[in-house]
Structure 1
């Protein structure tokens, strides 16, 4: 008899805990209150799964993408001026800037779709090279910087994906978003930039690298 009472008490405790997390109960409590206008519906949101534990990483990643977009814009401006005019490099970095901005916006939209809020003050987790100087980059150094940036973004996407899969509240929705929006394009950008860096380095050993640079820039212009 005592055992049955213990089991029943446990069920009642679990039930009361679970029902406390339902929007319906919040609405019922608000409707039954004499001060209904001031009652917050704490559970009437779009949150579920492990989004609360992952939202900080997503916010940091969105800010990293937006920051990266502006970094590429600086590189775009550098190769678009009359002193270092390279229309191919200009087009490449403008394309990378647009893509980073687009991915940042998509990440913010995903955060809000899952019931979270965007925090633009959340610092990115990506480590920066203190030796980088946007306005002093030559063509080869700019490719190296872009390759490092894309690899760091790809590594962070992999880390968030792993977090979503192995969290106590597994969130396949977050993992799926990362897979669909980032993995394929990031692998292609890393491969392309690695190829560009290797090819340009080999071209610069020529006796007259200026011609090689012009031809390589023309190629980038035709692609982007």
Structure 2
């Protein structure tokens, strides 16, 4: 009898995790829990545990997108007139924005929801807020740092999804497919721009070097 009692409790606990059980209960003559079908959702795997990390990564991409957009307008005004830098940062802004939108769609596809109050996990320094005071060289350094932060966070979430107690291969695959390769390319490009521009500044007059490099950016974007 004791065995049957324990078995019945375990059976009820397991069955409560399924949508079919919820529907069956809701449609019965004596429905429990107000007839709610709480398990009739798209959640499975470790999405409930990883959801907060994904939400904070969305907000990190949105924040980075607006920073790049502000940098783009800074170099695109009539005083700076750097169309190459303007185009570069506008492109990076659009990429981060598109990444954020795609990640929101993925969260909802997995049965989660977006929380815009979930702050990014990494913090930016006070100097990072002085976007309108950046020179061309400093802006490249800031852009590189921002993309590296996003890349490191993507790797951290990927690692979490792979080594969680209830591994979620789908989250790991999504992060790898949509973020790691793309971000590594952006980091590589910005690192190359930073070093090429630094070398150009050391060999020529600064104003000429900035003009030539801006023209180069404008043609390659």
> What is the TM-score with the length of structure 1 in the denominator?
0.93
Which of 189, 192, 203 is the matching residue for 2:189? 192
Provide the residue aligned with 1:219 in structure 2.
216
Q: Which stretches in structure 1 are left out of the alignment for 5+ residues?
A: none
**For residues 166-205 of structure 1, what are the structure 2 equivalents within 5 Å?**
166-205=163-202
**For residues 93-132 of structure 1, what are the structure 2 equivalents within 5 Å?**
93-132=89-128
- Residue 62 of structure 2 contacts residue 96 of structure 2 at CA under 8 Å; is this kept in 1? yes
Provide the residue aligned with 2:80 in structure 1.
84
- 1:42-95, CA deviations, whole angstroms, 9 ceiling, x for partnerless residues? 000000000010000000000110111100000000000011110000000000
Corresponding position: 1:39 with 2:41? no
Change (3 A) 1:33 1:63: farther
Provide the residue aligned with 2:158 in structure 1.
161
Q: Which stretches in structure 2 are left out of the alignment for 5+ residues?
A: none
> What is the TM-score with the length of structure 2 in the denominator?
0.94
Which of 148, 151, 165 is the matching residue for 1:151? 148
Aligned to 1:204, the other structure's residue is in SS state helix
- Offset of 1:35 from its aligned partner? 7.6
Change (3 A) 1:61 1:80: same
- Offset of 1:217 from its aligned partner? 0.6
Q: How many residues are paired up?
A: 219
Change (3 A) 1:118 1:219: same
- Offset of 1:206 from its aligned partner? 3.2
Q: Which runs of 4+ in 1 moved over 6 A?
A: none
Provide the residue aligned with 1:23 in structure 2.
19
Corresponding position: 1:137 with 2:134? yes
- Offset of 1:173 from its aligned partner? 0.5
- Offset of 1:41 from its aligned partner? 1.1
- Distance in 1 of aligned mates of 2:93 and 2:12: 51
- Offset of 1:40 from its aligned partner? 2.3
- Distance in 2 of aligned mates of 1:33 and 1:130: 62
